[in-house]
Structure 1
Amino acid sequence: MYNFTSLPPLALYIHLPWCVRKCPYCDFNSHQVPGALPETEYVEALLRDLEQELPLIWGRPIVSIFIGGGTPSLFSPEALDALFSGLRARLKLLPEIEITLEANPGTVEAGKFREFRALGINRLSIGVQSFQDAQLAALGRIHGGREAIAAAEAAHAAGFSDFNLDLMHGLPGQTVEVGRADVAQAIALAPSHISYYQLTLEPNTLFHARPPQLPDDELLADIEEAGQALLAQGGYLQYEVSAYAKEGFRCAHNLNYWEFGDYVGIGAGAHGKLTLPAEQRILRRARVKNPRDYQALAGTPAAFEEEAIKPREAAFEFMLNALRLKEGFAPHLFQERAGIPLGLIQNALQQAEAAGLIDWDVQRIAPSAHGWRYLNDLMQHFLPDRKK
């Protein structure tokens, strides 16, 4: 039984599902551009979708917006302007709101950065993945190292003091030296934030069906540790498994996810999670994935599937997210966000502590150094069906 004492922060996620070409490692809901982008029709569908969420979120301010994909920067500034006009007419946006747009390198898209900034977008997340042409080709990327550098430089020139670079490691043919060169180049471009994560072979991707030759586990560890050392030397503090930021530039939108905040998700394949205190439940909604189906159904109940989360599932999901944060979380946050007493997971906490995977007291619950290294083992202790 839930007992919510307060509402969590509320964010908005918007999914724009089209890319120039589907990358062989990508398991996101992305689709190759079908000729001309249906910008007007899709923006109208997004706003219809949002309107059916409004009765569930009346009066709640939006703390962050993240526009992901796909490649959202393929959309024209005019289409995004129409979208933001619709959002501002329907939602209460905080004055200091963080608004992030995902972008891929390329001279045409980078030329739009000034216009994006003028719309109120104040953060970019640029998917460079690597600065090495050979590695980018192996990943099926449509840009080269020069375009990746130019995109970061264009972000600075357009007035973005806050932008992220996505960087992968463990790539086909990668050595420690090549991995270090990628991280060094990213640091030299002076982004405020770097996402540094390992390439994984996800189901339902071309790489999963036809796996490339990747570095072995020992080399993977060496590449990651070398990159992490450079990031630390460059003043990028690791605050989450794959997130590194300069002081004061942690991603507010992603922090809301990791701290089990609420979010509305609109767009093809988007997911949302809302706390409903009056009904004492947590609700999840997932939109249909196919863009054409989404455009036809947006604004109707047929556009999404709905699920109420059980309390024990909420406890696991909270821990699954919050323990990704290196500093962990304050114990009171569990009661506030999961809506159940900490005592429900007391035995699991004690078992994880006995295994040396977690440190906890009245002020903080966080992975130990050992637990941070073996995070999957730590998460196992909080599975809903695990016998205590």
Structure 2
Amino acid sequence: MSLQLPPLSLYIHVPWCIRKCPYCDFNSHQANNDIPEADYVAALRFDLQQDQTLAQGRKLTSIFFGGGTPSMLSAQAIGQILTDAEKIIGFEPGIEITLEANPGTFEQERFSGFRAAGVNRLSIGIQSFNDQQLKLLGRVHGRAEALRAVGVARKAGFDNINLDLMHGLPEQSVDAARADLQQAIELAPEHLSWYQLTIEQNTAFYSAPPVLPEEEILADIQDAGVELLAAAGYAQYEISAYARDKKCARHNLNYWEFGDYLGIGAGAHGKITFPADNKILRLWKTRLPKHYLDATDSQKISPNLGGHQNVFGGGSDLLLPDALPLEFMMNALRLHSGVPMNYFVQRTGVDWQQLEPHWQKLTQQGLVEIVQGYARPTVMGRRFLNRVLQTFINETE
């Protein structure tokens, strides 16, 4: 089967933060002094120039500034990055441009500057409205700053806001988790990312784990939260994503629907389809900011370099045909509505018939279904998603 080019997004990684949170396993580095903003903006431009050929004529449908803490960059820097991206790759009409922000890093002037620079969606890392929990989580903001941040964002003109909120926090009760979520709902964001705290390797929490709620309490928190969100008009469309007024995160949807994305910045990852060669690549850049900047300096930045060069260390992996069913399903089955069946063929190059025996088995178990051409998990399948995915893992072994 022949591959087709899917939509293209851009992920931009800003690797610095004010303080490394004890639960965070992302590529982030505490900024002890002023960050090298101008040098980093120039490096991002150079990085995108090297990746220009990977776009294969496509324009960007979405951009996401992640980190770290992207809001540590000035509005002028964000504006320059967006200007470069539009010039080098180009924007589709109505492009979604998201910037992650922490409440403790903002003032009204900065919010307004980001909006004027072209950012049209703000993702604010609240995590909790409980001051004691925020302290345990190592956050640099408090409840009052979190509440103020949303109001300042509205005043700056943002009409598409996501709030990141955790549950299953250390010794958290069902009532406490519900109160946190109720406070978020009262702020009326268009989108809520409500997800359970998990302990990851290479984090401070992994070395000294806090006491987390028992499984029974976690299940009760999940059930209570889903009910509360539904009553407030937030539709759950992914494992931890809820939206009202149909304002789903388009950038994340492109990931889950197995679209393509460029990744620029220290430690950024990308996925690119090459229909002419019938292959799909994952690519990544070197993680350490110093190494990333050194790679740029060594190349004597030039806007006229042709072809694609991996000058930022990192590397790439070819996604082999046997691994593609799992890669696709790990993303697609996170979505409650699933994805069109033809996406599987178009975006993996694998014939659906190869999946049929496994899909039929899962269907008989009541874990997956096909509704109006969409392949999706059932309610039970969403609850036992790891079991569903294990079927495709076994297929690749």
Shorter-normalised TM range? over 0.9
Identity over aligned residues, as a percent?
A: 50
The CA deviation at 1:133 is 0.2
Distance 2:18 2:105 in 1: 14
Distance 2:51 2:204 in 1: 35
Alignment match, 1:230: 228
CA RMSD in angstroms comes to 1.4
5 Å-filtered alignment, 1:8-157, equals 8-106=6-104, 108-157=106-155
1:360 to 363, 370, 375: 370
Partner SS state of residue 320, structure 1: helix
Distance 1:124 1:326 in 2: 24
Structure 2 CA distance for partners of 1:109 and 1:376, relative to 1, 3 Å: farther
5 Å-filtered alignment, 1:343-358, equals 343-358=353-368
Distance 1:362 1:145 in 2: 45
Q: Give CA-to-partner distance per residue, 1:136-181, whole Å, 9 cap, x none.
A: 0111111111111111111111111101000000001211111111
Partner SS state of residue 159, structure 2: coil
Tell me the TM-score normalised to structure 1 length.
0.96
Q: Which structure 2 residue ranges, 5 or more long, are not aligned?
A: 300-308
The residue type equivalent to 1:3 in the other structure is S
Distance 2:109 2:175 in 1: 32
Distance 1:367 1:45 in 2: 42
Aligned residues of 1:170 and 1:199 also touching (Cα < 8 A): yes
The residue type equivalent to 1:313 in the other structure is A
Alignment match, 1:3: 2
Q: Give CA-to-partner distance per residue, 1:78-123, whole Å, 9 cap, x none.
A: 2112212211221210120000000000264454111100111000
Alignment match, 2:278: 280
Alignment match, 1:301: 310
Partner SS state of residue 383, structure 1: helix
Q: Give CA-to-partner distance per residue, 1:30-66, whole Å, 9 cap, x none.
A: 0001301100000111111111111222421100000
Q: Does 1:184 align with 2:186?
A: no
Partner SS state of residue 84, structure 2: helix
Q: Does 1:329 align with 2:339?
A: yes
Distance 2:365 2:88 in 1: 49
Aligned residues: 385
The residue type equivalent to 2:251 in the other structure is H
Aligned residues of 2:26 and 2:68 also touching (Cα < 8 A): yes
Structure 2 CA distance for partners of 1:20 and 1:110, relative to 1, 3 Å: farther
The CA deviation at 1:307 is 1.4
Alignment match, 2:303: none
Q: Give CA-to-partner distance per residue, 1:241-290, whole Å, 9 cap, x none.
A: 00000022001000000000000000011000001111111011111100
Distance 1:247 1:325 in 2: 17
> Which stretch of the first structure deviates more once superposed, 290-299 or 369-378?
290-299
Q: Which runs of 4+ in 1 moved over 3 A?
A: 107-111, 384-387
Q: Give CA-to-partner distance per residue, 1:186-236, whole Å, 9 cap, x none.
A: 011010000000000001101011100000000011112111111111100
Aligned residues of 1:260 and 1:322 also touching (Cα < 8 A): yes
5 Å-filtered alignment, 1:308-327, equals 308-327=318-337
Aligned residues of 1:316 and 1:384 also touching (Cα < 8 A): no
Partner SS state of residue 125, structure 2: strand
Q: Does 1:203 align with 2:201?
A: yes
Aligned residues of 2:323 and 2:396 also touching (Cα < 8 A): no
Alignment match, 2:382: 372
Distance 1:135 1:302 in 2: 42
Partner SS state of residue 125, structure 1: strand
The residue type equivalent to 1:247 in the other structure is D
Partner SS state of residue 272, structure 1: strand
Aligned residues of 1:107 and 1:151 also touching (Cα < 8 A): no
Q: Which structure 1 residue ranges, 5 or more long, are not aligned?
A: none
Structure 2 CA distance for partners of 1:109 and 1:30, relative to 1, 3 Å: farther
Q: Give CA-to-partner distance per residue, 1:310-331, whole Å, 9 cap, x none.
A: 1121221111100000111221
Structure 2 CA distance for partners of 1:28 and 1:171, relative to 1, 3 Å: same
Aligned residues of 1:169 and 1:179 also touching (Cα < 8 A): yes
Structure 2 CA distance for partners of 1:130 and 1:253, relative to 1, 3 Å: same
Partner SS state of residue 41, structure 2: helix
Aligned residues of 2:128 and 2:134 also touching (Cα < 8 A): yes
Distance 1:354 1:49 in 2: 48
The residue type equivalent to 1:372 in the other structure is R
Distance 1:362 1:176 in 2: 37
Q: Does 1:221 align with 2:231?
A: no
Distance 2:366 2:177 in 1: 31
Distance 1:152 1:124 in 2: 10
